[in-house]
Amino acid sequence: MSEPTTGLKKVIRPIHLWAIAVGLVISGEYFGWNYGWGVAGTVGFLIATVIITILYITFIFSFTELTTSIPHAGGPFAYSYKALGPLGGLIAGYATLIEFLFATPAIAFALGNYVHFLYPSLPVLWTAIACYLIFTGINLLGMKESATFTLVMTLLAVGELLIYMGIVAPSFKSENFLRNPIKDGWGGVFAALPFAIWLYVCIEGVAMVAEEVQQPDKTIPKGYISGILTLMLLAIGVMVFTGGITDWQLLTAIDYPLPESIGIVLGKDNSITKLFAGIGLFGLIASFHSIIIGYSRQLFAQARSGYLPRFLAGVNQRHGTPHWALLAGALFGIAALFIGKTDQLVILSVLGAVVMYIMSMISLFVLRFKAPGMPRPFKVPFYPWFPAIALLLSIVALIAIVYYNRWLSLLFFACFALIAVVFMALGKHRQTAGKDVILESEA
């Protein structure tokens, strides 16, 4: 029987980190973003996407400074703890777990819908559950094996999106894209922000494998920057070309817009359409598998620091994986499949993300002030403008999400309030054990 340990193996190289960065997010190009068309129109959603792209470019450059300075599996949780203390760590840790734990069932639903599109006899829900069982099992085998699998899936997914754009581009018509281009003016643009965030959300999960990266001071910047550039080009290309092939309003409420678009261009009975729907699973698998890596490391790190039950920090001696954290995350995700819909899961995930972005940017400013001599292998360019822009746009996104999704936002903040009350009642806000663990992991 394995005993809890606090060490993770350093096996990740730059190509693996790029694959994890892109793989964490690439499913966002396959589904979810199209709900943004429904509230903003094509041009309105394009404006929202440009705003969010600026947010992510400035955020990732800023976040890279934190990740290379504090290469800890807790990622944002560790940065906020170091900068703002136990309560700051609690806020960032809660938000990050919500982001990753709710992103995976959303992707699992999409996987189920893609498989159902190919084989109508297979039910969506049970296919989604099977995905959890299969890919949790792969992650249990070891980080090196998981990273290699992610690399293969990500390369196939990127290749597929390029092929997709090549197939639909000749059918692009500007009059289709510009039909009813903006719905509800700026109100629609703001309402679409969470769906634009879905195109990039979870890329910060790279921080959660930082302890397993070889030469993190050099590898992490390469992985983040190459990853965000790859995703930016794919997101804009897929969105624009898809919006010009037909009446885009037909694609606003389905979980498989790309196979449907190929079917419109080539015919649903075309062999290429069926083939594309089959290989379309690669992008969803890449994200699903990568986010499992992310949430398991976050659960592991918070348990190691005393924020969650200690057994979740157990590392399997044979495979070097946080096995209890992997299993706990899978159980949570399967439960979420029974109580949430795809768009609701997307909203909760991005709500957690923007709260975490705000906490991370505040932490960067605080650490620059409190710890000016802290080693920073990578410094954000154009400081303080980049983190200030990222912080401002994150606050704008948070306001938009809360305003247009009040009940889900109430659920998000009510759950946090309950957790905070328990946290304070147990006196954990006065404990420093978590900080000691964080400092040990940096050494």
Both structure tokens of 259: 């196979």
Nearest CA to 88 out of 388, 328, 435 is that of: 435
Higher pLDDT, 23 or 360: 360
Backbone φ, ψ for residue 12 (5° rounding): -90, 130
- Taking residue 343's Cβ as centre, other Cβ atoms within 10 Å add up to 20
Nearest CA to 288 out of 163, 161, 193, 154 is that of: 154
Backbone φ, ψ for residue 4 (5° rounding): -60, 130
Backbone φ, ψ for residue 322 (5° rounding): -80, 80
Domain boundaries, the chain: 14-442
Cα of first residue to Cα of last residue in the chain, in angstroms, is: 28
Query: Could you tell me which residues come within 8 angstroms of residue 304 by beta carbon, excluding any fewer than 6 positions away?
Result: 6, 73, 74, 310, 313, 437
Q: Check residue 119 and give left, alpha or beta (phi > 0: left; psi -120 to 50: alpha).
A: beta
- pLDDT tens for 82-104 read 899 888 989 998 998 898 898 88
Both structure tokens of 117: 């599109």
Both structure tokens of 390: 């990222």
Which one-letter DSSP state was computed for residue 183?
Answer: S
19/30 Cα distance (integer angstroms): 17
135/207 Cα distance (integer angstroms): 21
Q: Is 169 exposed, middle or buried (0-12, 13-18, 19+ CB in 10 A)?
A: middle
Distance of CA 104 to the CA centre of its chain: 9
State what percent of residues in the chain have pLDDT above 70. Answer: 88
Both structure tokens of 378: 């990578």
Categorize the per-residue pLDDT at 44 as very low, low, confident or very high, splitting at 50, 70 and 90. very high
Write down the H helix ranges in 244-280: 257-266, 271-279
| DSSP element (H, E) containing 174 | helix 174-177
190-204: average pLDDT: 86
Nearest CA to 231 out of 36, 37, 12, 59 is that of: 59
Higher pLDDT, 148 or 382: 382
335-358: average pLDDT: 87
**Would you mind telling me the total number of residues written for the chain in this entry?**
443
402/354 Cα distance (integer angstroms): 11
Report in angstroms the alpha-carbon separations of 354 from 266, 349, 357.
39, 9, 5
Both structure tokens of 39: 């509230």
User: Is the pLDDT at 137 greater than 70, yes or no?
Assistant: yes
Categorize the per-residue pLDDT at 138 as very low, low, confident or very high, splitting at 50, 70 and 90. confident
Distance of CA 335 to the CA centre of its chain: 19
Higher pLDDT, 190 or 305: 190
Q: Which CATH number fits domain 14-442: 1.20.1740.10, 3.40.1010.20, 3.30.70.3270, 3.30.70.100?
A: 1.20.1740.10
270/276 Cα distance (integer angstroms): 10
Both structure tokens of 95: 């938000």
